[in-house]
Amino acid sequence: MQTRGYAATAADTPLAPFAFDRRTPGDRDVHVTIEFCGICHSDIHFTKNEWGMTTYPAVPGHEIIGRVAKVGKDVKRFTQGQRVGVGCFVNSCRKCGSCRGGHENYCELGPIMTYASVEPDGVTHTFGGYSRDIVVDEHFVLNIPEGLDPAGAAPLLCAGITTYAPLRAVGLTKGSRVAIMGLGGLGHMGVKLAASFGAEVTVFSRSPEKEADARRLGATEFVLTNNPATLEALAGRYDAILDTISAKHDLSAALNCLKPHGTLILVGASPEGVEFNPFPLLFGGRKIVGSLVGGIPETQEMLDHCGKHGITSDIEMIGPDQINEAYGRTLRGDVKYRFVIDCTKF
Which of 249, 302, 305, 327 is close enough to bind ligand NAP by CB under 6 A?
A: 249
Give the 3-state secondary structure of 165-185: HHHHHCCCCCCCEEEEECCCH
Q: Which stretch binds ligand NAP (CB under 6 A): 114-122, 133-141, 238-246, 302-310?
A: 238-246
Q: Which does 182 bind (CB under 5 to 8 A by kind): Zn ion, ligand NAP, none?
A: ligand NAP
Best CA proximity match to 206, nearest among 263, 174, 247: 247
CB nearer to ligand NAP: pick between 2 and 226 = 226
CB 248 within 8 A of CB 274: yes
CB 306 within 8 A of CB 161: no
Q: Which does 99 bind (CB under 5 to 8 A by kind): ligand NAP, Zn ion, none?
A: Zn ion
41 binds ligand NAP per the rule CB under 6 A: yes
182 binds ligand NAP per the rule CB under 6 A: yes
Q: Which does 82 bind (CB under 5 to 8 A by kind): ligand NAP, Zn ion, none?
A: none
Q: Draw the binding track, 26-55, toward Zn ion (x: CB under 5 A; -: no contact).
A: --------------x-x-------------
158 binds Zn ion per the rule CB under 5 A: yes
Please count the residues of the chain.
346
Q: Quote the CA–CA distance of 78 and 137 in Å, as a whole number.
A: 11
Q: Draw the binding track, 193-212, toward ligand NAP (x: CB under 6 A; -: no contact).
A: ------------xxx--x--
184 binds ligand NAP per the rule CB under 6 A: yes
Q: In sequence order, what are the beta bridge partners of 204?
A: 181, 223
Q: Which stretch binds Zn ion (CB under 5 A): 89-97, 127-135, 232-240, 284-292?
A: 89-97
What amino acid occupies position 303?
A: L
* Helix H or strand E encompassing 271: none
Q: Helices 159-169 and 296-309: crossing angle, nearest 10°?
A: 100
Q: Which stretch binds ligand NAP (CB under 6 A): 28-36, 138-146, 184-192, 298-306?
A: 184-192
CB 97 within 8 A of CB 30: no
CA distances from 157 to 9, 20, 221, 341 (A): 25, 24, 27, 14
268 binds ligand NAP per the rule CB under 6 A: yes
CA distances from 134 to 6, 287, 330 (A): 13, 39, 25
- Please report, as ranges, the residues that interact with Zn ion according to CB under 5 A: 40, 42, 92-93, 96, 99, 107, 158
- Please report, as ranges, the residues that interact with ligand NAP according to CB under 6 A: 40-42, 45, 158, 162, 182-187, 205-207, 210, 244-247, 249, 267-270, 291-293, 330, 333
